[in-house]
Amino acid sequence: MKKYLIFLVLLIIINHQSYAQASAPMSKYGSNRDNGKYITIDKIKVYYETYGQGTPLLLLHGGLGSIVNFEKCIPELSKHYLIIAVDSPGHGRSSQLDSLSYPLLSTYLSQFIDLLKLDSLYIMGWSDGGILGLMLAAERADKVKKLIAVGANTRVDGLSEEAIKWIKSDLISWAKENTAWSKTYLSLTPQPEKLTTYLKNTQKMWLTDGYFPQSKIVSMKIPTLILQGDRDMIKLEHALEMHRSIIDSQLCILPNTSHSVFDEKPELMNEIAINFFNSTK
């Protein structure tokens, strides 16, 4: 059971190598002040970095994560698009929030798109970022032209039973006891004293059901790619359900791959993303 929980942690929590920086140099992504800026939304400072040029591609990281999640993909993707990698409110270098919910984060990101005056953009989101990408695609079809949602779920029961059990019983203690994760998190956040509140808010958000109603899923009209590993904590049946519910969608299941697709197969993810976004269909 202990070995399984360790494996499950690697599926649930963000790209484990991105956080193994306690003994390695910090990634320049997420800490690149030459490319980084802050924008204030409703008194919350939101941090983001930009790279490259071309059609804007908004990268949305996973839960308990940050821009660092995409460190292996940004170099190649920035050769093709204007990469806008953002730390969601409450994450990375952005200001903490009193509470967390997918609708709340989606509202902030929608305002972020408007404040940056992005008239047309692509989105690629992973895990929580995939969920937020789905929300933005449904609510801001005036701006979002294509979406890749990676390792996303729209309901709690889209997760495996083991994942749900782990979130309920072990998430908070794991984060506090995991030196690599906590050191990286505390080195980024402007409000380290709010760690416990942040973890409790994350746990509550992950376990709140009905955060993205089916009516919004079926209303989506933009080209969408639903993607995940065949060993993801997201049930394959749930990914298939999302694909069937979205009119103009494709489904991609990567073999021998867990939730950490951007860590395990970054070159393949880049190839898939470039092919999808550049396609005329």
What is the residue type of 77?
L
Could you tell me the end-to-end alpha-carbon distance of the chain, in angstroms, rounded to an integer? 46
**Do 87 and 66 contact (CB within 8 A), yes or no?**
yes
Give the pLDDT of residue 3: 39
Tell me how far apart the alpha carbons of residues 143 and 158 are, in angstroms, rounded to a whole number.
28
Token digits for 177? 């006891």
Contacts of 260 (CB under 8 A, 6+ apart): 10, 11, 14, 15, 16, 229
Tokens 């306690």 -> residue: 22
Give the pLDDT of residue 209: 87
Give the pLDDT of residue 210: 79
CATH number at residue 143: 3.40.50.1820
Give the pLDDT of residue 26: 54
Tell me how far apart the alpha carbons of residues 90 and 105 are, in angstroms, rounded to a whole number.
9
* Global confidence as pTM: 0.92
**Do 85 and 48 contact (CB within 8 A), yes or no?**
yes
Partnered with residue 259 across adjacent β-strands are: none
State the alpha helices, DSSP H only, in 48-101. 74-77
Partnered with residue 252 across adjacent β-strands are: 227
Give the pLDDT of residue 40: 98
Give the pLDDT of residue 21: 36
**Do 226 and 252 contact (CB within 8 A), yes or no?**
yes
Q: Which domain holds residue 106?
A: 2-278
* Cα 254–Cα 258–Cα 264 angle in degrees, nearest 5: 80
Written as tens digits, the pLDDT of the chain (281 aa) is 443 343 444 444 444 333 333 333 456 999 998 999 999 999 999 999 999 999 999 999 999 999 999 999 999 999 999 999 999 999 999 999 999 999 999 999 999 999 999 999 999 999 999 999 999 999 999 999 999 999 999 999 999 999 999 999 999 999 999 998 999 899 999 999 999 999 999 999 999 987 888 889 999 999 999 999 999 999 999 999 999 999 999 999 999 999 999 999 999 999 999 999 999 87
Please state whether 66 falls in left (phi above 0), alpha (psi between -120 and 50) or beta.
Answer: beta
Number of domains in the chain: 1
For residue 177, the surrounding DSSP H or E stretch is helix 171-177
